[in-house]
Amino acid sequence: MYVDTELGTQMVRWRRELHQFPETGFNEHKTAAFVAAALRAMGLEVHQGIGGTGLVASLTVGDGKGVIGLRADMDALAMTETAQGREHISRHPGCMHGCGHDGHMAMLLGAAQLLSQSRDFNGTVRFIFQPAEEHGRGARAMMDDGLFERFPVDEIYGAHNIPGMPVGHIATREGGIMASEDNFVIRITGRGGHAARPHLAIDPLVVAAEIILALQSIVARAVDPAEPAVVSCTEIHSDGIRNALPTHVEIKGDTRSYSRQVQALLERRMRDICHGIAAAHGATCEVQYTHEFVPTINWPQCTPVAIRAAQAVVGHSNVDANVAPMMISEDFGAFLTAVPGAFVFIGNGATGATGGVPLHNAQYDFNDAMLPIGARYFAEIVRQRLAV
CB within 8 A of 183, min separation 6: which ones?
Answer: 252, 253, 254, 289, 290, 292
Model confidence pLDDT, tens digit, residues 311-362 = 999 999 999 999 999 999 999 999 999 999 999 999 999 999 999 999 999 9
Distance CA 382, CA 1 (A): 12
Which strand (E) or helix (H) includes residue 20? Answer: helix 5-20
**Mean pLDDT on 54-76:** 98
Q: Tell me which residue of 334, 298, 303, 325 sits closest to 131, measured CA to CA.
A: 334
Q: What is the pTM of this model?
A: 0.94
Which strand (E) or helix (H) includes residue 211? Answer: helix 204-217
Which percentage of the chain shows pLDDT scores above 90? 98
Q: Tell me which residue of 161, 113, 143, 128 sits closest to 51, measured CA to CA.
A: 143
The verdict on whether residue 160 carries a ligand-binding annotation is: yes
pLDDT for position 2: 61
Question: Is it the case that residue 119 has pLDDT exceeding 60?
Answer: yes
Q: Are strands 67-73 and 123-130 parallel, antiparallel or unpaired?
A: parallel
The verdict on whether residue 285 carries a ligand-binding annotation is: no
The verdict on whether residue 316 carries a ligand-binding annotation is: no
Which percentage of the chain shows pLDDT scores above 70? 99
Question: Is it the case that residue 4 has pLDDT exceeding 80?
Answer: no
Q: Tell me which residue of 284, 298, 282 sits closest to 339, measured CA to CA.
A: 298
**Residue ranges of domains in the chain, CATH in brackets:** 5-178+295-385 (3.40.630.10), 180-293 (3.30.70.360)
**Mean pLDDT on 111-135:** 97
Distance CA 134, CA 147 (A): 19
pLDDT for position 133: 98
Question: Is it the case that residue 52 has pLDDT exceeding 70?
Answer: yes
**Mean pLDDT on 134-157:** 98
The verdict on whether residue 281 carries a ligand-binding annotation is: no
| SS3 call for 295 | coil
pLDDT for position 175: 97
Confidence class for position 3, pLDDT limits 50, 70, 90 = confident
For the chain, the average pLDDT equals 97
Confidence class for position 1, pLDDT limits 50, 70, 90 = low
| SS3 call for 365 | coil
**Mean pLDDT on 27-50:** 98
Model confidence pLDDT, tens digit, residues 219-231 = 999 999 999 999 9
The verdict on whether residue 88 carries a ligand-binding annotation is: no
Model confidence pLDDT, tens digit, residues 80-93 = 999 989 999 999 99
Q: Tell me which residue of 57, 156, 150, 60 sits closest to 109, measured CA to CA.
A: 57
Query: Do 178 and 330 meet the contact criterion of CB atoms below 8 Å apart?
Result: yes
Distance CA 23, CA 28 (A): 5
